[in-house]
Amino acid sequence: MLTKESKLRVMENFYSIDYALFGKSVKQIDTCCPETIREFITVKGALLSVMVEMYKLLDHKPSVLSEKVDIKQLKQIAVESAKVARNNSKVLVASDEGKQSVKEALQQKIEEAKEKDDIDMMVEDTIRNKAFGIAIDNLLIARTLSECEDVSPMNEWEGLILEDAYKILRDSLVEVASFIDEYAAIK
């Protein structure tokens, strides 16, 4: 059973993901395809379901809240968390290790590409996807690990399955978010 604070963390993360990826709520994004927004919300929900299972496995214990939190406060907390995640993501992508990771991902993308005429777009997409993935990891995983006393269950069978599910859903979420972000930038 999750604590009240863990449940609030799930709700906070639901809003934080939007702000970390887009700088605003996904509801505020004008897109050509409402189905894409629905897909984003569906994948985000599935990802957060995996996080709930991780919380249970790790006996997640965030700091106890001494006051009630309403939706307005929750959204403000989410915005602040997203700002931290975005800033951390920028720093990590710009680091030597981050640049190397982007370079490796880009090389793989170029090898797999049928047409190699738009390298600039591939570079931009690769950097965006890396930054989005790191921001989500920062929001969800880094924070979760810092709020748990014992993370060793993640090295056991159930933890490894949850980690694999998390990575698949995170990558799917990044893919949909990149499409939404790209379309919003064009408009």
Q: What is the pLDDT of residue 181?
A: 81
Does residue 18 fall inside a structural domain? yes
With cut-offs at 50, 70 and 90, classify the pLDDT of residue 49: very high
- Report if residue 44 sits inside a domain: yes
**Domain extent for 28:** 4-95+134-186
Instruction: State the pLDDT confidence band at 121, using cuts at 50, 70 and 90.
Output: confident
Question: Is the pLDDT higher at 2 or at 67?
Answer: 2
Does 124 map to a domain? no
Domain presence at residue 113: no
Residue 171 CA to residue 158 CA, distance in Å, equals 20
Q: Tell me whether residue 38 is in a domain.
A: yes
Q: Which of 10-19, 32-41, 59-68, 125-134 has the lowest mean pLDDT?
A: 59-68
Is residue 26 in some structural domain? Answer: yes
Residue 121 within any structural domain of the chain:
no
pTM, two decimal places: 0.88
Q: What is the pLDDT of residue 174?
A: 95
- Count: domains in the chain: 1
Range with lowest mean pLDDT among 68-77, 93-102, 105-114, 129-138: 105-114
Q: What is the C-alpha to C-alpha distance for residues 105 and 77, in angstroms, rounded to an integer? A: 33
Query: What tokens were used for 83?
Result: 């700002």
**Residue position matching structure tokens 């859903």:** 169
Tokens 């982007």 appear where? Answer: 102
Give residue 107's pLDDT. 84
Q: Is residue 116 part of a domain?
A: no
- Cβ 60 vs Cβ 6: under 8 Å: yes
